[in-house]
Amino acid sequence: MTYGAEALTALADPTRRAIFERLADGPRAVGELAAGLPVSRPAVSQHLRVLKGAGLVSDRADGTRRIYQLDPDGLGALRAYLDQFWNQSLAAYKEAVERTDKEPQ
């Protein structure tokens, strides 16, 4: 599985996506992330493990807690993966327009 596919698979789960979106506001501990979610803290930890494995989040120790944040390198790689499709679409559009311009009217 490619990096982009792994990241997209991780984000396909609604709970993981909600956690990911909460981290966009800034670093948070598991307890903060779990507040308001319909899952337990251990379940949030498992979701964070998947997001970390996909390269989308990183963590650091803060006393007895772990603080999670979005990983800029992983986000950059995901963006590059998605940009390739955008770039291919733009190139195909440009080619179609140029072909149409060359056709007799």
Question: pLDDT class for 34, splitting at 50, 70, 90?
Answer: very high
Q: Which CATH architecture has domain 3-98?
A: Orthogonal Bundle (1.10)
For residue range 50-89, list pLDDT tens digits in order: 999 999 999 999 999 999 999 999 999 899 888 888 777 8
- Report the candidate in 62, 64, 51 with the shortest Cα–Cα distance to residue 23: 51
* CA separation, residue 72 to residues 55, 79, 100 (Å): 9, 10, 41
Instruction: Give the pair of three-digit tokens for residue 53.
Output: 């494995």
Q: Where in the chain are the domains?
A: 3-98
Strands lying side by side in the sheet with 57-62: 28-29, 65-70, 57-62
pLDDT at 47 over 60: yes
DSSP state of 36: T
CB of 47 within 8 A of CB of 16?
yes
